């Protein structure tokens, strides 16, 4: 083979191997979230499989081009179908618990892709004519790593942003099929198999999955039946219910939204106030609510257009800022009467950087002096798990004692509304005991 063709194949391998890892990390988010305990093992398993692929490729002693062509064909099928949205959804729907489904997806789809493509450089290095082995392997690794660099950037910052995740999946699979064609230009039987893989890829990514996909989330609006609703519909974000609305007059929203709107409008009598909402959802907090001014912050720039077109069927009320919630509260110079934190990457999965003490401290800087923090948390209804207890303790370490309301007490997981007042930094709590009872003194100084 000509040198430029060999290096083109190696470039495709680098592009698609790291591309498969980027796609897998994105496809797992709706089911497992994006925490470090998910992303780190995914990267680790991928690198292990890649290392085993290098080792396997070094042991190939004949039929170099045919072996790489076969590997490209299999990898294209695994990416195009196995990492498609419908393929990943099928695994997590069929297998419980989700941790087992995750291991199955990584072990049977992502790792085989890494193992197959990892063989490319050591195998094709045998076909490079150089005086030194180091020169041949160095050039091959250069083009492979260059492909990985461009693959990670172009897929995450261009394809996923403008055309969606399915386009990135299809592009990687079809690029591998192009590499296969470069390796076996006259093998008609292999060409027929490649066409079948291409058809399966296009079918899985263009027709079978109804979700609207962006680089950050998958959205779906579907009919929903709930108490008092007339022609209700639900907006799903990463396979989780994010918002509810119906055609009643006035519309009926999700229970926690009704609770928060009632708190702001009826109990607190907010009028003409500026309210910050971190996590846009379906923009129902401000829906047909003209009394206050709302600013929504969401990391996905496409979420407002999707909600208006497919969910609200009208223009969303309020301003919209496409930004990370933590970055916004750190940098913003605006002040708000209330901040609503309603940010989820998947069901009950808050991004890890939005639960720390430092994040809650940052929310204080955008609140008025006596402003109100409202957090919608999905926790166990008994508030007994370590996550529930520690998250509530983290918030109260910044704001002091907060009101905690569990809305669905009979369910395993419930919406928990935490309401805190901004003010002076709380002093450390002391326990009242028979030996040292400061109750009367503390009561007197609290008046």
The answer for residues whose C-beta is within 8 angstroms of residue 8's C-beta and 6 or more apart is 179, 182
pLDDT digits (tens, 9 = 90+) for 384-430: 999 999 999 999 999 999 999 999 999 999 999 999 999 777 777 77
Residue 371 confidence (pLDDT):
94
β 319-322/293-298 pair status: parallel
> Residue 428: which residues within 8 A CB-CB, separation 6 or more?
none
Instruction: Tell whether the model's pLDDT for residue 193 goes beyond 90.
Output: no
Residue 443's pLDDT band (cuts 50, 70, 90): confident
Q: Which fold has domain 251-421?
A: Rossmann fold (3.40.50)
Pick the range with the lowest mean pLDDT from 142-151, 203-212, 237-246, 265-274.
Answer: 203-212
Confidence check: pLDDT of 131 > 60: no
Provide the percentage of residues in the chain whose pLDDT is more than 70.
96
Alpha carbon distance 264, 270 (integer Å): 6
Kindly report the average pLDDT of the chain as a whole number: 90
Residue-wise pLDDT for 137-160, tens only, equals 788 899 999 999 999 999 988 898
Amino acid 434: pLDDT: 83
pLDDT of residue 256: 93
Domain limits, the chain: 3-209, 251-421
Compare 207 and 357 and report the one with higher pLDDT. Answer: 357
Tokens 């291409």 sit on residue: 198
CATH number of 3-209: 1.20.1250.20
Domains 3-209 and 251-421 share a fold: no
Over residues 32-38, the mean pLDDT reads 84
Task: Select the more confidently predicted residue: 391 or 238.
Answer: 391
Here the tokens at position 156 are 């995450």
Angle, in degrees to the nearest 10, between helices 85-94 and 188-206: 70
- At residue 30, the pLDDT reads 82
The pair of structure tokens assigned to 32 is: 């497992």
Residue range 265-302, pLDDT digits in tens: 999 999 999 999 999 989 999 999 999 999 999 999 99
Question: Which carries the bigger pLDDT value, residue 185 or residue 175?
Answer: 175
pLDDT value for 209: 64
């Amino acid at each position: 083979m000509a040198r430029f063709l060999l290096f083109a194949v190696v470039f495709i391998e680098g592009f698609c191997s790291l591309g498969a890892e980027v796609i897998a990390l994105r496809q797992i988010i709706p089911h497992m979230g994006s925490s470090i305990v998910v992303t780190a093992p995914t990267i680790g398993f991928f690198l292990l499989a890649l290392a085993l692929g290098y080792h396997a490729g070094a042991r190939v002693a004949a039929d170099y081009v045919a072996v790489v062509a076969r590997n490209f064909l299999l990898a294209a099928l695994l990416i195009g179908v196995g990492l498609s949205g419908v393929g990943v959804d099928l695994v997590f729907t069929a297998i419980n618990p989700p941790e087992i489904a995750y291991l199955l997806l990584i072990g049977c789809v992502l790792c085989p892709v890494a193992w197959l493509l990892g063989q490319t450089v050591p195998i094709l290095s045998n076909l490079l004519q150089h005086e030194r082995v180091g020169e041949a392997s160095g050039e091959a690794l250069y083009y492979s790593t260059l492909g990985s660099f461009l693959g990670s950037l172009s897929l995450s910052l261009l394809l996923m942003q403008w055309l969606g995740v399915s386009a990135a999946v299809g592009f990687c699979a079809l690029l591998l099929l192009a590499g296969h064609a470069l390796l076996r230009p006259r093998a008609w039987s292999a060409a027929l198999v490649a066409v079948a893989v291409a058809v399966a890829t296009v079918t899985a990514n263009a027709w079978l999955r109804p979700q609207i996909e962006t680089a950050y989330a998958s959205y779906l609006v579907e009919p929903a039946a709930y108490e008092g609703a007339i022609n209700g519909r639900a907006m799903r974000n990463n396979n989780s219910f994010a918002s509810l609305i119906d055609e009643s007059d006035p519309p009926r929203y999700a229970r926690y939204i009704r609770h928060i709107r009632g708190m702001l409008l009826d109990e607190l009598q907010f009028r003409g106030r500026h309210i910050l909402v971190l996590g846009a959802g379906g923009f129902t907090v401000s829906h047909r609510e003209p009394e206050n001014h709302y600013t929504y912050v969401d990391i996905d720039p496409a979420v407002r257009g999707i909600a208006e077109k497919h969910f609200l069927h009208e223009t969303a009320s309020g301003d919209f800022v496409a930004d990370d919630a933590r970055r916004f509260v750190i940098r913003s110079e605006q002040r708000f009467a209330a901040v609503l934190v309603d940010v989820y990457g998947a069901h009950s999965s808050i991004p890890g950087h939005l639960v720390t003490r430092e994040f809650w401290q940052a929310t204080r800087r955008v609140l008025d002096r006596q402003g109100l923090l409202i957090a919608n948390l999905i926790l166990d209804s008994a508030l007994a798990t370590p996550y529930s207890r520690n998250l509530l303790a983290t918030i109260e370490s910044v704001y002091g004692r907060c009101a905690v309301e569990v809305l669905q007490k009979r369910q395993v997981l419930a919406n928990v509304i935490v309401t805190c007042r901004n003010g002076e930094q709380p002093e450390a709590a002391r326990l009242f005991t028979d030996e040292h009872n400061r109750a009367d003194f503390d009561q007197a100084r609290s008046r």
